Structure 1
Amino acid sequence: MQNPLSCVVGEISARHGNISLTQRQHLTDSNIQLAGDFTVVHRSLVLMDGGTILSCADIIPESPSGELIFPNVANFSRYAFRMRVADILSIGTDQVTILPPSPMSAAEGRCQQVNYMISGNMSAALMDSVQNSPQLGTFTGSSECRAAGSAAIGVPRGFLLFWMFAAAFLLPTTTS
C-alpha cells in the first residue's frame, strides 16, 4: 500500500492485513479516534470474512457520558457547546466529545439533543450538575424539551460489554 492514510477511517485490514480470530494481536491505528469530532464511539465494530459479516457490536464509551436537550439553536456551534460543558466541569475543552450523530432533532423538531462524553474520571454528581447549570446559556433545557426528551440509555455498560465479548468468542473460527 502506497499511503495507509488513504483508507476509509476504521478500515484496518488494508493497513494491517487480515486479523486472526484465533491468535492475540495488538494493532495501533492513528486514524481511529476515541475522542473528538471524528470519534468511533457510538459507531460499530464489524468483523467480516470477505464480503460476509461475521459479527458486529457497538463501540460504547467507558468514559462518563451525558445528554442535553434544549430548544433549537439557529447555528449550533460544536465548540461553544464543548466550551460551556468544559467550563461547568472545570476541565479542558479537549476532554468533551460530542458523540455522533449529535446534534439530533427532538420534541418533534422543537428541540435539539446532544449526547457527549468526557475523557477522564468524573463523578456522577458533577456530571448531573451540567443539566441545570445556568452556564449552559443557549444550551439550557426547557420544561418543554425535558418533557419530550428521550430516556437515557437504560442498559448498563457492563451488560453491553458482556454481549460484545460473548459474540466475539462465539464466532466460528477458521484456519487457513
Structure 2
Amino acid sequence: MKVIVLLDQIQAGLGGKEKGDTPLGGKKLAMGAADTLDKVLKKMDSEIIGTFYCGTDYYQANKAEVNRKVAKMSQKMGADVVIAGPTYDYPDFSTMACELAATIQKETTIPVVGLTAIEKNADLIQQYQDQITIVKMPKKGGTGLSDSIDHALRLCKMKVEGADFTDFINQYCY
C-alpha cells in the first residue's frame, strides 16, 4: 500500500500551538507521528509516500484551498489510502482531519481512515462518522495507541483490497 498521512504542525514535529499559522506543506517521507505508522507499514510491505501537514490556524483561514490541494495531491501522488491523524484528543486538529478526510472521500476514489479520540471530539465524531471511517484511539497520554494504529492499518489494507470491513467497523470504529 502507498499511504499518505495528514498531520497538523504539532504532530508533524514543526512546533507547538504558536506555529498554528504553518502553511500547507508536505514531504515524501514519514514525519513526526507518521514515523510510528511507517514502522508498522514496513512490516506489511507498505510505505508512506508522503506526509501532508498544515497549521490549524492556517487551515481555518484557508479551508477551501487546503482541501482542494490535499485532495488533488493525494490523487496525483497515486496514494492507495490516506490516514487522517492520529489526532488524539486535539479538537482543532481533529476538525481539520475530519474535514480533509471527508473532502478526499468525496472528491477522489482514495479511501480514507481517520484516527481520533472521543475525548473533546464527541460532537465532531458524531457529525462525521457516517461520512468517513474513524478508528477509536486514546487521548494523548492514554493507553492503547499501538492497538489503535494496528486497527487503522488493518482497516487501510481491507479498504485497499476491497474486503468487507463491516464487522471490523462495529468493533474498532465509532
Is TM-score (shorter-chain normalized) higher than 0.5?
A: no
* TM-score, with length taken from structure 1: 0.26
* TM-score, with length taken from structure 2: 0.26
User: Normalized per residue, which structure has more helix?
Assistant: 2
Larger radius of gyration: 1
